[in-house]
Structure 1
Amino acid sequence: MTREEALELLKTHVTNRNLINHCLACEAIMRRLARHFGEDEEVWGLAGLLHDLDYDYTKDKPEEHGFKSVEILGDSVTEEIKNAILAHCEKKTPETLMERALYAVDPTSGFIVAAALIRPEKKLNVVDVPFLLNRFKEKGFAKGANREQMKSCEDIGLSLEEFYALSLEAMKEIANEIGL
């Protein structure tokens, strides 16, 4: 599956623009991490882009989240991508580097968006890593962003500071596309 085909598929199955933006942000971060680790950016990017493909179908049935995406995707993507999708929502234990990365990336994109939205400018270009690290310590900030899941970046050999730097860099590259 090409990136263009994946994006069309995502837009067919996901109706919420904010969720599409979340998937685009996860794609960008996954691509940046792939580059950092010398992995295949296309494969990692597809995993990030498609990880919430089934959200409209499973938002009220979280036990099906991930499984429905795998069903929709069928044979159009590799098992590696399908396993990463399952691992991001804890339907399998994250084992590979890509699975562990997507698991950490998922809440991080929303956390970074929340950090941008509390700034008066409502733009990513005013967010920096120290700002993110300070917000990380605030339990009341972006409560939905699982801190342990983000901190699992250590399982891929990155400190939280390094992980945030790579993630923020990736999201800033697509800021206009995601409206930030």
Structure 2
Amino acid sequence: MKREEALELLKTHVSNKNLINHCLACEAIMRRLARHFGQDEETWGLAGLLHDLDYDYTKDKPEEHGFKSVEILGDSVSKEIKDAILAHCEKKAPETLMEKALYAVDPTSGFIVAAALIRPEKKLAFVDVPFLLNRFKEKGFARGANRDQMKSCESIGLTLEEFYSLALEAMKEIAEQIGL
């Protein structure tokens, strides 16, 4: 599946603009991580872009989240991508580098968005890594962003600081597209 097809598929199945932006942010971060690790950017990007494809169908049935995406995708993407989608929502243990990366990326994009939105400017340009690390310590900030899941970046050989740096860089590259 090509990126353009994946984006159209996402827009067909996901109605919430903020969730589409979340998927675009995850795609950008996954592509940046793929570059960092010398992996295939297209494959990693598709995993990030499509990881919440089934959200409209499963938001009230979390036990089906991931499985429905795999069903929708059928044979149009690799098993590698489908496994990463299942791993991000704990339907399988994250084993490969890509699976572990997507697992850590998912809450991170929302955490970074929340950090931008509490700034007076409401722009990613005004967020830096020290700001993110300070917010990470605040349990009341972005409660929905699972700290353990973000910290699992260590399983791919990155400190939280390095991980945030790469993620923030990636999101800043698409800031205009996601309205930040």
Q: Do the two structures share a fold, i.e. TM-score over 0.5?
A: yes
Counterparts of 2:92 and 2:171, CA distance in 1: 27
RMSD, aligned α-carbons: 0.1
Whole-Å Cα distance in 2 between the matches of residues 178 and 69 of structure 1?
23
The one-letter amino acid paired with 1:53 is L
TM-score normalized with structure 1 length: 1.00
Deviation at 1:100, TM superposition (A): 0.0
Give how far 1:37 is off.
0.1
Distance in 2 (CA, whole Å) between partners of 1:15 and 1:178 is: 15
Find the aligned partners of 1:54 and 1:179 in 2 and give their Cα distance.
23
Mapped to 2, the partners of 1:4 and 1:59 lie a distance apart of 25
CA distance in 1, matches of 2:83, 2:177: 28
Query: Taking every aligned residue pair, what percent have the same amino acid on both sides?
Result: 89
Indicate the SS of the match to 1:134: helix
Matching of residue 42 in structure 1 with residue 20 in structure 2: no
Cα drift, residue 93 of structure 1 = 0.0
State the TM-score, normalizing by the size of structure 2. Answer: 1.00
User: Cα deviation per residue 1:140-162 (whole Å; 9 max; x = unaligned)?
Assistant: 00000000000000000000000
Matched, 1:133 2:133: yes
Q: Which residue of 2 aligns with 1:21?
A: 21
CA distance in 1, matches of 2:113, 2:57: 24
Amino acid at match of 2:74: G
Deviation at 1:49, TM superposition (A): 0.0
**Deviating runs (4+, > 3 A) in structure 1?**
none
CA distance in 2, matches of 1:68, 1:4: 21
Task: Write the distance in 2 (CA, Å) between the matches of 1:48 and 1:176.
Answer: 19
The one-letter code sitting in structure 1 at the alignment partner of 2:171 is M
Aligned to 2:65: 65
Q: CA deviation at 1:136?
A: 0.0
- Deviation at 1:179? 0.1
| Partner Cα distance (1:67, 1:105) in 2 | 19
**Structure 1 residue ranges without an equivalent (≥5):** none
- Residues 71-110 of structure 1 aligned to structure 2 (within 5 Å): 71-110=71-110
How many Å apart are 1:21 and its aligned residue? 0.1
Matched pairs, number: 180
Distance (whole Å) between structure 2 residues aligned to residue 118 and residue 25 of structure 1 = 18
CA distance in 1, matches of 2:170, 2:124: 11
Q: Read off the aligned partner of 1:113 and give its amino acid letter.
A: V
Q: Distance in 1 between matches of 2:67 and 2:121?
A: 38
1:174 to 2:137 alignment: no
Structure 1 CA distance for aligned equivalents of residues 52 and 102 of structure 2: 11
Deviation at 1:102, TM superposition (A): 0.0
